[in-house]
């Protein structure tokens, strides 16, 4: 088996490369900027989702392709289509795709590209494994510095619960399903073992910092406007606000513990990821 992974220099990609290497596999890192891959310690090939003529040659000899979903929202599904078409031309046998929790049924706006990409992969006739990732805890902890400085966490999820896990947990799921048998044609709904609300997250931040950091629940339009003021594009701010609203209705909660069973250990507690961010 020859294994390749897109987005290998991204936050999830780097962790997946490390998890695969820890299992004795040397994946091919597919990256836009080869210079950024110099420290990965594995073969790297130039791979730009939008440079269609170069994609199939870069996949020469690859049998299993991990397609980490693009974080470029400029026609993300079109970029994924380019990769899937190239995989067909190159003779790839299976695609592992990092999708989103309950991609086929969730009302989250963020899920539309994932649902469509899953459809393209199914239609391609290639073997597939869909890793439907829930929220990354780092989605919350990445902005803790600003929240602490402002004196509050903000969002629009109400009392909704997030079954989030650390990126390293999802990276381990990639490594397991890419290198062990029995995962072709499987769909995994992946999430953290223990859910929490924004209020509980704020309480944990308060405990670890020794400061009183409340959670302020905001109307979605207000929250989106604040995200725009931080420099996010209006469309993406709207999508993130919608994600919070849907989380308030249970869209990002899952208590199946599929992820921990798959990786053979409990998922990383929210408190540990908070501590890592504060360090």
pLDDT at 74 > cutoff 80: no
List all residues 6 or more positions away from 48 whose beta carbon is below 8 Å from its beta carbon: 32, 54, 55
* 221/97 Cα distance (integer angstroms): 32
| Three-class secondary structure of residue 263 per DSSP | helix
Give how many domains the chain has, as a whole number.
1
* 251/261 Cα distance (integer angstroms): 21
> Domain of 110: which CATH number?
3.40.50.720
Please report which confidence band the pLDDT of residue 73 belongs to, taking 50, 70 and 90 as the band edges.
Answer: confident
- Tell me: the pLDDT tens digits for 141-150? 999 999 999 9
Assess if residue 205 is contained within a domain: no
Position 104 scores a pLDDT of: 95
Backbone conformation region of residue 221, classed left if phi is above 0, alpha if psi is from -120 to 50, else beta: alpha
- Average pLDDT of the residues in 29-35: 96
End-to-end C-alpha distance for the chain, whole angstroms: 39
Please report which confidence band the pLDDT of residue 242 belongs to, taking 50, 70 and 90 as the band edges.
Answer: very high
Position 75 scores a pLDDT of: 86
Q: Considering the entire predicted model, what is its pTM? A: 0.96
Assess if residue 89 is contained within a domain: yes
Assess if residue 208 is contained within a domain: no
Assess if residue 122 is contained within a domain: yes
Domain interval for residue 39: 3-134+166-190+256-267
Which stretches of the chain are DSSP H helices? 11-22, 52-58, 76-90, 112-124, 138-141, 144-150, 167-179, 198-209, 220-229, 234-248, 258-263, 270-278
Q: Are 59 and 46 in contact (CB under 8 A)?
A: no
- Per-residue b/e over 144-166, b at no fewer than 16 CB within 10 Å? beebbeeeebbbbbeebbbbbbb
pLDDT at 86 > cutoff 80: yes
Helix (H) or strand (E) holding 94: strand 94-100
Assess if residue 54 is contained within a domain: yes
Assess if residue 211 is contained within a domain: no
- Average pLDDT of the residues in 89-115: 97
- Token look-up 């902890």 returns 141
pLDDT at 72 > cutoff 90: no
Assess if residue 182 is contained within a domain: yes
């Amino acid at each position: 088996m020859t294994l390749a992974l897109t987005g290998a220099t991204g936050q999830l990609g780097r962790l997946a490369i490390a998890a695969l290497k820890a299992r004795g596999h040397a994946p091919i890192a597919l990256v836009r900027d080869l210079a950024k891959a110099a420290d990965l310690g594995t073969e790297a090939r130039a791979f730009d989702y939008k440079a269609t003529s170069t994609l199939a040659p870069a996949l020469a000899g690859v049998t299993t392709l991990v397609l980490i979903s693009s974080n470029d929202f400029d026609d993300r599904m079109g970029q994924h289509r380019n990769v899937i078409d190239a995989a067909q031309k190159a003779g790839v046998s299976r695609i592992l795709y990092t999708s989103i929790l309950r991609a086929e049924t969730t009302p989250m706006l963020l899920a539309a590209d994932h649902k469509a990409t899953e459809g393209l992969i199914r239609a391609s006739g290639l073997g597939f494994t869909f890793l439907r990732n829930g929220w990354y805890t780092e989605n919350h902890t990445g902005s803790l510095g600003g929240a602490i400085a402002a004196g509050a966490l903000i969002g629009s999820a109400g009392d909704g619960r997030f079954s989030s896990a650390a990126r390293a947990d999802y990276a381990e799921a990639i490594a397991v399903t890419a290198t062990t048998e029995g995962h072709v044609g499987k769909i995994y709904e992946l999430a953290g073992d223990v859910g929490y609300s924004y209020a509980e997250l704020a309480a944990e931040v308060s405990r670890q910092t020794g400061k009183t950091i409340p959670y302020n629940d905001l109307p979605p339009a207000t929250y989106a406007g604040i995200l725009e003021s931080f420099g996010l594009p209006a469309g993406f701010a709207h999508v993130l606000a919608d994600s919070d609203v849907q989380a308030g209705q249970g869209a990002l909660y899952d208590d199946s513990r599929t992820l921990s069973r798959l990786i053979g250990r409990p998922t990383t507690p929210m408190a540990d990821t908070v501590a890592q961010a504060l360090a």
